[in-house]
Amino acid sequence: GNMEWKDIEFCRKESGLPVVIKSILSASNAQQALNSGCSGIWLSNHGGRQLDNTAAPMTTLPRVASVVKGRVPIIIDGGIYRGQDVFRALALGATAVALGRPLLYGSALGGVQGVQAVHTHLKNELTMVMRLAGTPTIKNITREFVARTEGGWAS
């Protein structure tokens, strides 16, 4: 059957492992996940394949981060293609970013070396964005480095 919020506690007790909830796309679902004892929140719309017009994870990230308030890690995927995207996600409250398609593209083009090349490229881009922003460490990346615009968040 379908999983319910109450099943999170069962999964934690039976497995002895932390439970990270994937597919959170709203502040209210993030709050429910926290209330249910999750150990992490993963913002994802699965590439937008299941529902048309689903909000992009980056769009919902600021609202989710304001609910989570650092109590559990926030992982985000979707739309992470450049170092600037990683910087923006961290600035808006993500703890970590997950990469899907970029790594698949790298793998298709060059196997393990292609995946490593994608990772190195993103890391180098993030390092450059951090230098330009004057943020020597990841911890120095805060929301003040992204500006609120009419349509959402931009950097």
By annotation, the residues acting in catalysis are 46
> CB of 12 within 8 A of CB of 37?
yes
Give, to the nearest 10 degrees, the angle between helix 27-35 and helix 57-68: 40
Residue 26 C-alpha from the chain's centroid: 13
CA 9 to chain centroid, in Å, comes to: 23
Which residues, 6+ apart, have CB-to-CB distance to 78 below 8 Å? 43, 44, 45, 47, 48, 56, 57, 58, 100
Q: Where are the beta strands (DSSP E) in 7-69?
A: 20-24, 40-43
* Alpha-carbon dihedral angle through residues 62, 67, 70, 74, given to the nearest 10 degrees: -60
